[in-house]
Chain A
Amino acid sequence: MEGPCRVLRAVLYLFSMNTDYSHYYDASSLFHGSLLNIMGTRLDAVFIETDRALCESVWQKTVAELLRLDKMFNRFDIESEIYSVNLRAPTERVVASDELMSVLISCKRYHLLSRGLFDVTLSDFDAVDLDTEHQTISFSEKNVSIDFGACAKGYALDKVKQVLVEADIKDALIDFGNSSVLALGHHPFGDCWKISVENPFRTGEIVDEIELRDVALSISGNMPTHLKHIVNPRTHQFIEDKKIVSIIAQNSFEAEILSTALMIANHEEQKKILSHFDHALFKEYIL
């Protein structure tokens, strides 16, 4: 096993090489930063800010924070905390960091509010025992493991938002792999950021235009190339419908969790889930 493992590790390392790029457009006071290979996708950030040095330092902080979270949430990274939890929790009580514990507690809450459709174990969240008193995690089932794929980007975007707010960057658009978008303030020549949603099955066809200002947008859906990537944790079936759902919420974590749950939910379930989220704006596009 030694040989293949080493090869696999080398391949994973190659895929995990993060490349960050940035450029400041003086005439427009526009900063653009790009980070590739982050949480399996890419992130593009646009800040409208006259202080170029501030933009650069905020971008460096953003990149550092994203890399930290990528490491924390990456269940394939043998050095990550979640890797260690997944490995050990079936047999022992694993002491978790404050941050991992609080993320899992939030996940549990959303699991309940989404009627079980949002599930970081993709099968049985009930088998995850979170001992808040001793701050330990253990799994009561052998085959359980945690996958933050459906919420890590949202959590990361909330952290990025903190960095921006602390630096007093008022107008910014952050696109995390097209499916999670954070809009702060507005476009320099408009009173919001206008985003359009493209039909992944028909290039160029716009299914909706959405105006964003100080809110988070999350999109879930299938693509012709990726039809089997969302699983119903109750039935273990892939959601293969040709559809997209969008949700606008106050924070990115919530938006991302809801978009996944509502992509899985049927019409009745959607209504029930949404009853807990008064301010969320939900749309479904059948393609």
Chain B
Amino acid sequence: MSTDKNTKQVDLELRQFIKNLGYIAGGTALLTTVPWLQSFTTDKLSEIKNEKARVAIIGTGSRGQYHILNLLRIPHAEIVALCDNYPPNLKTASDLCPKAKTYNDYRKMLESKDIDGVIICTPLNWHAQMVLDSLAAGKHTFCEKSMALTMDECKAIYEAYLRTDRVLYFGMQRLFDEKYIKGLSMIHSGLIGDIVGIRCHWFRNNDWRRPVPSPELERKINWRLYWESSGGLTTELATHQLEVSNWAMKRIPESVVGMGDIVFWKDGREVYDSISLTYHYRNGVKTTYESLISNKFNGLGEQILGHKGTMELEKGQYFFEDVAPAPGILQLINNVEKRVFSTVPIAGPSWVPETASKQKPHYVIEGMVHTTSGGSMVGAENDGSDNLISAFCQSVITGEKAKDIVEECYSSTMLCLLGNQAMKEQRKVDFPDEYKIPYLKF
């Protein structure tokens, strides 16, 4: 188990996160802009103070272990079971939490009465069956993104979600990332004007492979590289960013065109290592999505382009088109937003245009440093994942469903799958009527 010091730290982190958001959005305003956080107020957190969510992990590979490390620091979580059919990963996980019971068949594990919540971190092609089985077994369920490998599976999960009284979460951590929440709320308050375009990208320079001890394990370990088990760069990376794009637009695109190729990593893989997609919203706004894994110069990012300015959400910074607000005034505004009374450093000899620097960034959260290069194949620190898993554990205790998370994951996964279809069939693909759900606004 973790030390007391760590335990306290995470508890405080989640409380601080919610508290910070309170400052950002101002009490009740928070609840309307980020409905999925309604259940996580500081008051509600203290109600579950002495209770623990008994959770099990299915899939104890790199992402599963990442969640385990976060769970060990969450006071209201207890890892009671681990399941994997690949013994080395199960062993590593078991070493991290020796008290947890181990399984190699998840169905057996789901029969256990000692498990309240299940966290699924398996290859994409297993998501649907496992989520459905877990809900059917009466377990609260968390599943990593994307939702599933096919549109039919996504629809089946969505329908099961409508029927179940259990809690269902998906790993859309940007919904729990402070800089995204604040950045998006600034966009929605009109800071950068009307959204006129969105550019998303994720660039890396690595082969996306894990070492394989013996050749017959290739497809099992490198499941991301084959269509039977993966949607490739869309379902693994783009899904987060397409979700952000929809969050900004408050609607979802009606069609997509794109091209995908294997440009560099010609090593027997099936999924593209270079994709370029254009999603079209009904109002004419387009989201362009680019991903390449043989050049990392551009890293990752989502640029929301407005007629008054540009927000770079991942970097937590924004730029104005014409007018750069005076830094002192900006500091004053930031402090008022944080309810801080401080001195404004503005006075001095006259400001003249020549002393102003062009296109200086302004920061969504002052002093914020948590940005990521997008290079990690497991998960970045402070990207909202810890808050998300902590929130799930709280829901496991209270049984309270979090709003919109399933719908958001459904939307972005569908867009990934439609993007893949557009690239494979080399044509424009419209969002099919049979997969539209009431939540979606086009």
Contact = CB atoms under 8 A, between A and B. Distances in A.
Interface stretch (B7-15, B104-112, B343-351): B343-351
Contacts, number: 139
Interface in A206-223: 206, 209-210, 217, 219-223
A109 interface: no
Contact of B347 (A26, A190, A222, A246): A246
Contacts of A173: 332, 344
Nearest to B24: A27
A195 B340 CA distance: 14
B24 A225 contact: no
In which size bucket is the chain B interface? 35 or more
Interface string A36-68: 110011101010100000000000000000000
Interface string A172-207: 010101110100000111100111111010000010
B308 to A, nearest CB: 7
Given A28-B337, A187-B336, A223-B355, A46 B347 contact: no
A34 interface: yes
A178 B340 contact: no
A189 B336 contact: yes
B344 A195 contact: yes
A260 to B, nearest CB: 11
Given A42-B326, A44-B326, A225-B354, A27 B347 contact: no
A210 B345 CA distance: 10
Contacts of B322: 19, 21, 36
A243 B352 CA distance: 18
B172 to A, nearest CB: 25
A226 interface: yes
Contacts of B346: 175, 178, 181, 195-196
In which size bucket is the chain A interface? 35 or more
A28 B352 CA distance: 30
B260 to A, nearest CB: 40
A28 B26 contact: yes
B266 interface: no
Nearest to B339: A189
B343 A200 contact: no
Contact of B337 (A25, A44, A197, A223): A25
Contact of B349 (A19, A36, A46, A223): A223
A32 B326 contact: no
B189 A195 contact: no
A272 interface: no
Contacts of A209: 343
A195 B348 CA distance: 10
A23 interface: yes
Given A27-B25, A27-B26, A46 B332 contact: yes
Given A23-B190, A28-B337, A37-B353, A195 B343 contact: yes
B137 interface: no
Contact of B329 (A19, A41, A46, A246): A46
A150 to B, nearest CB: 10
Contacts of A41: 350-353
B342 A194 contact: yes
A24 B337 CA distance: 12
B325 interface: yes
Contacts of B333: 25, 28, 30, 32, 46
Contacts of A96: none
Contacts of A258: none
A225 B329 contact: no
Nearest to B190: A23
Contact of B323 (A30, A36, A210, A225): A36
A175 B326 contact: yes
- Summarize A's interface: helix, strand, loop or mixed: strand
Nearest to A221: B349
B352 A196 contact: no
Contacts of B332: 46, 173
Contacts of A26: 26, 29, 189
Nearest to B347: A197
Contacts of B25: 27
B349 A210 contact: no
A200 B323 contact: no
A120 interface: no
Contacts of A221: 348-349
B323 A188 contact: no
Nearest to A186: B341
A248 B106 CA distance: 75
B192 to A, nearest CB: 9
B352 A25 contact: no
Contacts of A244: 348-349
B202 interface: no
A179 B326 contact: no
Contacts of B429: none
Contact of A179 (B328, B337, B348): B348
Contacts of B340: 189
B337 A30 contact: yes
Given A178-B348, A178-B351, A200-B349, A28 B323 contact: no
Interface in B329-376: 329, 332-333, 336-337, 339-355
B103 to A, nearest CB: 48
Contacts of B342: 194
A147 B336 CA distance: 38
B69 interface: no
Contacts of B350: 40-41, 177-179
A265 to B, nearest CB: 17
A237 B337 CA distance: 47
Which residue, B190, B339, B344, has most C-beta atoms of chain A within 10 A? B344
B142 interface: no
B345 A206 contact: yes
Nearest to A175: B346
Contacts of B189: 23-26
B320 A21 contact: yes
Contacts of A246: 347
B349 A21 contact: no
Interface string B24-59: 111001000000000000000000000000000000
5 contacts: A25-B189, A25-B336, A46-B332, A177-B351, A178-B346
Closest 6 CB pairs between A and B? A27-B26, A190-B341, A189-B341, A194-B343, A21-B323, A221-B349
Given A178-B328, A181-B347, A195-B343, 15 more contacts: A21-B322, A23-B190, A25-B333, A26-B29, A27-B337, A32-B325, A34-B326, A175-B326, A177-B351, A178-B346, A194-B342, A195-B347, A200-B349, A210-B347, A217-B347
